[in-house]
Amino acid sequence: MSDSPIVNEFNQGPISCHAFNGDRTELAVCFNTNVVSIFRKSGAGWTQTSTLAEHDKPVTSVDWAPKSNRIVTCSQDRNAYVWTLDGASHQWKPTLVLLRINRAATFVRWSPEEDKFAVASGSRCISVCYFEEDNDWWVGKHIKKPIRSTVLSLDWHPNNVLLAAGCADMKARVFSAFIKGIDKKPAPSPWGEKLPFNTVCGEFSNGAGGWIHGVAFSPSGESLAFTGHDSTITVVSPGTGDIQSIRAPYLPYLSVIWLNENQIVAAGHDCAPHLFELKGQQWAFSASLDAAVKKADVGFTARDTFRRMDSRAQSATSTDTEVHTHHQNTINSIRPFSGTPGHVEQFSTSGIDGKLIIWNANSISRGLGNLHL
C-alpha cells in the first residue's frame, strides 16, 4: 500500500457524490448530473460499465450497500430509487421509492443492517424507508418534529436504530428510527432506552450557529461528531456528558468521519483532509493530512508554465492561483475505504474539482505517532 494518496481524475465534471461497493472493485459516481455512472476497477484506472439513468434532476446522493449489493440514489426530483443488479443481464434495475416529500432529497444512507435507508430532504423531514413484504414495495415513514429546515446529512448508529441528522436550522439531532416489525428492541445506550420512532434523543448545536454540514457517530456509537459552517467541530458523548467544541482556524468542513475512537478526519472548503485527535480528554486539531503537492507534479518546465498560462489566458506567471493540495477545489464527501469501522485504514474523498482521492490513514498515524504520549 503506497503512502501517497491515489488520485483518480475522471474529467467529467465536479463530483457531487460517490460510493464504493463492498469489495471496492466498483464505484458509483455522480458528476452533478441526472445520472450515476458505475465504474469497474481495471488495472490502475476505472472503466465505465453502466449508467443509472432514471432521475429527472441532479442526483444529490448515492449509497452502495456492501453486503446486499444494492444501490440507493436520491435526487432533486424528490424521488429515490433502489437499484438491484439483475444476475442474468448484469443490468441495474431501478425500483421507485415513494418518499412523499415536496422538496429535493439531499442525502441518503443505508442502515448498517441494510434493511432500511434514510433520506434527508429539503421538506424539513427525513424519510426512513423499509421494504414492506406484503405489498412488495419500499415504504417511507417521516421524521418531522422538531426539524425546522433542510436536513443536510445523516449518519446511522451501529445499532441500526438511531440516526443522526445535521440540519440547516443549525442543529445536529439524534433521532430514533425504530421500525416495528423490522427492528428488534435495541440495547440501552447512552442515547436513551425506550425509543419509539421519531424520539429526539439529543439536540446539539455548535458555538456560533451555522448549518450543520456533516455528522458522524463514533465506531462504538458512544459519541457523535458534527461539523458546521462556523468552522467548528463538536464532539458529544452523552454517556459522560462531555461536549467539546473545537473552533478550527480553517474554512468550514463539509464532511467528517471517524478513523477510530480517538481520531476524526474532516474535509471541506480548505480542499484537504484535516485530522483531529483526542489527546487525554481534549479534542484538538492535529494536522492537515495533505502535504503540499511537490512542484514536479505541477509541471515546472518552461513549456509547462507557458502552456498553463495559455490555457488560463494569463499574461504573467502567477503561482498564487495554484492550490497546493491534491484536491484543487472543495471536498464535499469523505467516506471510509478500507479497514474496519473501528480502525479505518484508508478513506476516499471526492470534490468539486472532479477528483476522487484515496488516502492512507496509516502513514499519517505512523508519522504523528511520535506526538502521542
Partner 1 sequence: MAFRKIDIDALEEDAFGEDEIDFQEIGELRPLADVEAQVNSRAQEVRSLLQRGNTSGALSTSLQNPPYGAPFHAAKARNTQTVMEVLNSIKVADVPQLVKSLSPEEQDVLMKYLYAGMAAPEQNNSGHLLAWHEKLTEVAGQGCIVRVITDRRTV
Residues forming contacts to partner 1 in the complex (CB under 8 A) are 148-149, 169-170, 207-210, 228-232, 247-252
Instruction: Considering the complex, state which of residue 46 and residue 204 has its C-beta at the smaller distance from partner 1.
Output: 204
For residue 82, which of 145, 127, 24, 39 has the smallest C-alpha distance? 127
Backbone angles phi, psi at 364, to 5 degrees: -65, -45
Instruction: Considering the complex, state which of residue 140 and residue 252 has its C-beta at the smaller distance from partner 1.
Output: 252
Beta carbon of residue 373, minimum distance to partner 1 (angstroms, whole number): 24
Instruction: Considering the complex, state which of residue 66 and residue 202 has its C-beta at the smaller distance from partner 1.
Output: 202
Instruction: Considering the complex, state which of residue 247 and residue 343 has its C-beta at the smaller distance from partner 1.
Output: 247
Distance of CA 43 to the CA centre of its chain: 26
Beta carbon of residue 13, minimum distance to partner 1 (angstroms, whole number): 23
Contact 86, 134 (CB under 8 A): no
Cell digits of residue 178: 425504530
Beta carbon of residue 269, minimum distance to partner 1 (angstroms, whole number): 9
Beta carbon of residue 72, minimum distance to partner 1 (angstroms, whole number): 28
- Distances in Å between the Cα of 134 and the Cα atoms of 24, 79, 184 are 34, 22, 19
Beta carbon of residue 29, minimum distance to partner 1 (angstroms, whole number): 28
Beta carbon of residue 170, minimum distance to partner 1 (angstroms, whole number): 7
**Count of beta carbons in the 10 Å neighbourhood of residue 132:** 12
Cell digits of residue 129: 424507508
Burial label for 41, CB within 10 Å (0-12, 13-18, 19+), is: middle
Q: Is 169 left (phi over 0), alpha (psi -120 to 50) or beta?
A: alpha
Cell digits of residue 292: 503540499
Beta carbon of residue 174, minimum distance to partner 1 (angstroms, whole number): 18
Instruction: Considering the complex, state which of residue 155 and residue 270 has its C-beta at the smaller distance from partner 1.
Output: 270
Enumerate residues 6+ apart whose C-beta is below 8 A from 149. Answer: 124, 167, 168, 169
Instruction: Considering the complex, state which of residue 148 and residue 366 has its C-beta at the smaller distance from partner 1.
Output: 148
Burial label for 57, CB within 10 Å (0-12, 13-18, 19+), is: middle
Instruction: Considering the complex, state which of residue 244 and residue 363 has its C-beta at the smaller distance from partner 1.
Output: 244
Is 359 strand, coil or helix? strand
Residue 99 CA to residue 78 CA, distance in Å, equals 7
Beta carbon of residue 35, minimum distance to partner 1 (angstroms, whole number): 23
Contact 345, 362 (CB under 8 A): yes
Instruction: Considering the complex, state which of residue 25 and residue 149 has its C-beta at the smaller distance from partner 1.
Output: 149
Beta carbon of residue 212, minimum distance to partner 1 (angstroms, whole number): 11
For residue 168, which of 203, 201, 124 has the smallest C-alpha distance? 124
Instruction: Considering the complex, state which of residue 207 and residue 342 has its C-beta at the smaller distance from partner 1.
Output: 207
163-169-170 Cα angle (round to 5): 80
